[in-house]
Amino acid sequence: MLSSVFFNILKNAVRHNDKEDIEIDIAVTEDMGTVTVQIADNGPGIPDSQKEAVFGKGEQGLKSPGTGMGLYLVATLVTSYGGEVWIEDNDPEGAVFLVELPKAR
């Protein structure tokens, strides 16, 4: 099910990007007990007021063709694995989705 987490984040990064040249950068960092995957895009970004709300069940933007279930599924699955997911601003534009998961034992 972990593949669904990254599929949904990547699908949204493409679907909601208004640029002709879509850029997505993926980085992985490892800490003592966790692994963090960062998925950064060059899209329009997500306003601070929406960064938590986009993970709500059925939550979708006004221009979104989706069902509002993709990022809800992301949050639900990441939480079920004992992890966290959040969004930060990308510099100079876009969003960065961070998925932090505990290392397998």
Q: Does pLDDT of 60 surpass 80?
A: no
Separation between Cα atoms, residue 5 and residue 70, nearest integer Å:
8
- What CATH number is associated with residue 98? 3.30.565.10
Q: Does pLDDT of 56 surpass 60?
A: yes
The per-residue pLDDT of the chain, averaged, comes to: 90
pLDDT at 65 (0 to 100): 52
Number of folded domains that form the chain: 1
Tokens for 36, please give them: 């963090």
Q: How confident is the model at residue 57 (pLDDT cuts 50, 70, 90)?
A: confident
Q: How confident is the model at residue 62 (pLDDT cuts 50, 70, 90)?
A: very low
Separation between Cα atoms, residue 85 and residue 40, nearest integer Å:
13
The mean pLDDT value for 60-72 works out to 64
Residue 67's domain comprises 2-102
Burial of 64 from C-beta contacts in 10 A (0-12 / 13-18 / 19+): middle
2 phi, psi to nearest 5 deg: -60, -30
Q: Does pLDDT of 68 surpass 70?
A: no
Separation between Cα atoms, residue 67 and residue 60, nearest integer Å:
7
